[in-house]
Chain A
Amino acid sequence: MVKKTSAPARSHSYLRFSFADRVQHLAMLLSFTTLAVTGLVQKYPLNAVSLFIVRLWGGIENIRATHHVAATLLMLVAIYHLIGMGYKIFVLRHRMTMLPSLQDVKDAWMAFTYNIGLGKSRPQMGRYTFEEKAEYWALVWGTVIMGITGFMMWNPLATVKLLPGDFIPAAKAAHGAEALLAVLAIIVWHMYGVHLKRFNKSMWTGELSEEEMLHEHPLELADIKAGIADRMPSAATLRKRQMIYYPIATILGLVMLFSVYGFINGEQTAITTVPPQAATIPVYVPETPTPLPPTPTPLPSPTPPAAAEGTQASSTSSTWIQVGPIFAAKCLQCHGALASGGLNLSTYADAMKGGKDGPVIVPNDAANSKLFIVQSAGGHLGQLSADELEVIKEWIDAGALEK
């Protein structure tokens, strides 16, 4: 894939990346960085840095829109890369020097053992070192994963037509984790490999000097010198292959572009304005008859008239006539028609029936009557006064009679 520059002898430099390759790298760099920034703030939304970035961007919806634009750019780069690769492989018949091989494993092992002082020398490598191949294939893997999981999140309705619903949160989990892996890999591997170890400018200038070639790609340099590196096919062969490739590439390209369009515009996932939730309930509906000027609600109050009557009556005989009004004043709010806990104290019969856990009044035995026990403990919502409770106690102990 390497062509000698027009005057290699004079400059001793070799073309490593064509202009098109470099533009591809730049486009990818821009989209990747944008995706990383706009994606990580979504993965860690409450982080202070994330909040700062979201504010800077003018809100999360802008972040998402930017993320989608960058994702589209990355998809277009990927399509361009595939079409270009097809051209290099089919038309130019370049050797597939990026394919991983057993030699890469051996090279990696050799480099590592050398680093820790066990090996004699660093491996001699060809056009793509094992570090570069690792990065390239990591990028391919990452782009595929991100593309698939991104599609699922972008088009959840289409996805659940084919897959179970939990693929959506799973896709989100994978998308976020894969993003983290990719960013960390770029920071550790790429930063070190081409910036820190030695600042490699070839992705910008396109060239490597003969010395750099000797250091980093000695086997490729040897191939070039021996004349067995990639060569241009003859003009006739080139034309013949182009005639075959161009229509195929056009169709493939259109199909892929159409897919990207579908990816982006495939579905209207959600409506843009949520209907107001409580609109169905009218707000101002006064009670009728209108209780204005306000009066206290008929709830237990410190001195209800009915209770006072009950207290007075306690000195005479104890029957439902005496206790009924106390219940009516203090208890029926809950233990009336609502029968809270199953207990209804509106009538004598209902009161004696008790609650869902059984009777609450044991005739002649107030101490074992649940009603008396609960009220004696105090703190009941409809708490009886001591006097009222005394009336109840006397009534129960006198047999809890109706008349």
Chain B
Amino acid sequence: MTKWFSNHLKPISFLIGICLILVAAAALTSRVDAARSLQPPVEPAAQAKPSNDYCLGCHGQSTLSKTLSSGEILSLYIDPSLFHAGVHNQEDVACVDCHTNISRFPHPDFKADTLRDVSIQLYTSCQNCHAEQYNKVLDSVHQKALAGGNFNAAVCTDCHNPHQQTRITDKQTGELLPEARFRIPQTCARCHNAIYETYKSSVHGAALTMQGNLDVPTCIDCHGVHNIQDPTTARFRNDTPQLCAKCHTNAEIMNKYGISTQVLNTYVSDFHGTTVTLFEQVSPDTPTNKPVCTDCHGVHNISKVDDPATGIAIKENLLGKCQRCHPNVTTENFTDAWMSHYVASPTHFPLVYYVNLFYKILIPAVIGGMLLFVVTDFIRRMIEARKGTRHG
């Protein structure tokens, strides 16, 4: 089998190279669906490309494999039915469009010590067609970890199996397909399984995985996709309220579940929220000790607020949250110092409501009275000045 990998570059590969550059250039111009423009632009060159069936002639045999120097077995089998159903095959992407150093059997030599090494070596060819996504990944926390020597960090092919990946975005709109969206947490779970297990039990995760509810956030709605950022930075934390607000101020979604859309307003107008918002606006990279949404509601383990065990609409549970930052708090009535996202009304936080009402009357009354006196006094003095009269 190793013979297949012997170094045998043929002059035709130069022609293919030119063809691929043209293909890649064409692909770069299409942002929504890079792979769409992969029609071979130069007919003679296209003829030189081996067909996918040509490759599957060998790679469609399930026993095909190679033992790496680590002792790991690299399967070289590509399941033809899954491959044919995959988006790459359906969009006429040729095997050699990605495996650019291969043009024909026998193949040039390929050296990889471990299975992981195989992925790390091969994923870079994704950029030929998916430059936008690839470049985003270069700014991601995964890529930084990889550059730092952590080879467990995800690369393209860890999330998208190029031989089987089915279409995940709508060809026309470029929007994520519902089924693909449903699968996202499972994809991330391949490496972040502990977080996935937590997420599954959260109000969001349970709705997605158990009810197929697509209104809830999946991993990428908070962490982004491709250019995933380190979520432990001060910047990410300070930005959390705006992040949650993307959905939680959207009445279209929230009304379905009877959830208030005032959560951001009420937070921002509170001491904690005012502070965090100002940090976010003025010094986003500076950490603050004031809580953001996740400090009280949780991150991957967000529960319903009326959940008896963990819900923070229950004072006992909320007190525990307060005590994370206010360890000296002992009494439950401290929890009322935070208005729990309520807008003051005669029924909720009446004291606050009536204080506001008092000043709503007092301020115009006092200032109005002062203005009345000041304006009349001023006019009177103007009249007197014009007349030239003098008064004591």
B367 to chain A, nearest CB (A): 5
> Considering only CB atoms, which chain A residue lies closest to B206 in the complex?
A338
Instruction: Let me know if A7 is at the binding interface, CB within 8 A.
Output: no
Contact B334 A295 (CB under 8 A): no
Instruction: Let me know if B268 is at the binding interface, CB within 8 A.
Output: yes
Contact B282 A55 (CB under 8 A): yes
Q: Which of B20-28, B42-50, B56-64, B358-366 forms contacts with chain A?
A: B358-366
* Residue numbers in B under 8 Å from A54 (CB-CB): 278, 281-282
A112 to B281, alpha carbons, bound, how many Å? 48
A380 to B209, alpha carbons, bound, how many Å? 14
Contact B164 A299 (CB under 8 A): no
A276 to chain B, nearest CB (A): 6
Contact A293 B374 (CB under 8 A): no
Contact A197 B377 (CB under 8 A): yes
> Considering only CB atoms, which chain A residue lies closest to B391 in the complex?
A122
Pick from B298, B333, B379 the residue with the most CB of A within 10 Å. Answer: B333
A88 to B42, alpha carbons, bound, how many Å? 103
Contact B212 A160 (CB under 8 A): no
* Residue numbers in A under 8 Å from B281 (CB-CB): 46, 51, 54
Report B320-364 residues with CB < 8 Å from chain A CB. 324-329, 331, 333-339, 344, 349, 351-352, 355-356, 358-359, 362-363
Report A152-203 residues with CB < 8 Å from chain B CB. 153, 156-157, 160-161, 164-170, 172-174, 177-178, 180-181, 184-185, 188-189, 192, 196-197
Instruction: Let me know if A6 is at the binding interface, CB within 8 A.
Output: no
A281 to B231, alpha carbons, bound, how many Å? 13
Contact A270 B366 (CB under 8 A): no
Instruction: Let me know if B31 is at the binding interface, CB within 8 A.
Output: no
Contact A302 B334 (CB under 8 A): no
Contact B178 A174 (CB under 8 A): no
A276 to B324, alpha carbons, bound, how many Å? 11
* Residue numbers in A under 8 Å from B179 (CB-CB): 299-300, 381
B347 to chain A, nearest CB (A): 12
Among A59, A115, A157, which residue has its beta carbon within 8 angstroms of that of B329? Answer: A157
Q: A181-B367, A282-B194 are in contact. Are A381 and B182 (CB under 8 A)?
A: yes
Among A160, A161, A285, A292, which residue has its beta carbon within 8 angstroms of that of B194? Answer: A285
> Considering only CB atoms, which chain B residue lies closest to A187 in the complex?
B367
Q: A164-B336, A278-B231 are in contact. Are A115 and B300 (CB under 8 A)?
A: no
* Binary CB contact string for chain A from 264 to 307 against chain B (1 if under 8 A, 0 otherwise): 00011111111111100111111100111111110111110100
* Main DSSP-derived SS at the B contact region: helix
A185 to B282, alpha carbons, bound, how many Å? 31
Contact B193 A285 (CB under 8 A): yes
A106 to B165, alpha carbons, bound, how many Å? 89
Report B244-286 residues with CB < 8 Å from chain A CB. 268, 270-271, 274-275, 277-279, 281-283, 286
B284 to chain A, nearest CB (A): 11
Contact A157 B326 (CB under 8 A): yes
* Residue numbers in B under 8 Å from A271 (CB-CB): 289, 325-327
* Residue numbers in B under 8 Å from A268 (CB-CB): 328
Q: A285-B192, A294-B160 are in contact. Are A169 and B356 (CB under 8 A)?
A: no
* Binary CB contact string for chain B from 73 to 84 against chain A (1 if under 8 A, 0 otherwise): 001000001100
Among B85, B278, B373, which residue has its beta carbon within 8 angstroms of that of A59? Answer: B278
A26 to chain B, nearest CB (A): 24
> Considering only CB atoms, which chain A residue lies closest to B362 in the complex?
A181
Among A124, A177, A287, A295, which residue has its beta carbon within 8 angstroms of that of B193? Answer: A287
Q: Which of B91-99, B128-136, B183-191 forms contacts with chain A?
A: B183-191
* Binary CB contact string for chain A from 109 to 145 against chain B (1 if under 8 A, 0 otherwise): 0011011110001101000000000000000000000
Instruction: Let me know if B2 is at the binding interface, CB within 8 A.
Output: no
Among A51, A185, A292, A303, which residue has its beta carbon within 8 angstroms of that of B81? Answer: A303
A285 to B300, alpha carbons, bound, how many Å? 15
Contact B367 A177 (CB under 8 A): no
A299 to chain B, nearest CB (A): 6
Contact B212 A334 (CB under 8 A): yes
> Considering only CB atoms, which chain A residue lies closest to B332 in the complex?
A165
A299 to B181, alpha carbons, bound, how many Å? 12
> Considering only CB atoms, which chain B residue lies closest to A177 in the complex?
B359
Instruction: Let me know if A77 is at the binding interface, CB within 8 A.
Output: no
> Considering only CB atoms, which chain A residue lies closest to B211 in the complex?
A340
Report A177-234 residues with CB < 8 Å from chain B CB. 177-178, 180-181, 184-185, 188-189, 192, 196-197, 214-215, 218
> Considering only CB atoms, which chain A residue lies closest to B363 in the complex?
A181
Q: Can you identify 25 A-B contacts, CB atoms within 8 angstroms?
A: A45-B277, A60-B282, A111-B377, A122-B392, A156-B334, A161-B331, A164-B351, A167-B337, A169-B349, A184-B367, A188-B370, A271-B325, A278-B299, A281-B198, A284-B191, A285-B192, A293-B119, A293-B161, A294-B187, A299-B179, A301-B85, A338-B210, A340-B210, A340-B212, A381-B179
- Mark A residues whose CB is within 8 Å of B: 42, 45-46, 51, 54-55, 59-61, 108, 111-112, 114-117, 121-122, 124, 153, 156-157, 160-161, 164-170, 172-174, 177-178, 180-181, 184-185, 188-189, 192, 196-197, 214-215, 218, 267-278, 281-287, 290-297, 299-303, 305, 334, 338, 340-341, 380-382
Of all A-B residue pairs in the complex, the 5 with the closest CB atoms, nearest first, are: A165-B336, A177-B359, A381-B212, A168-B337, A115-B376
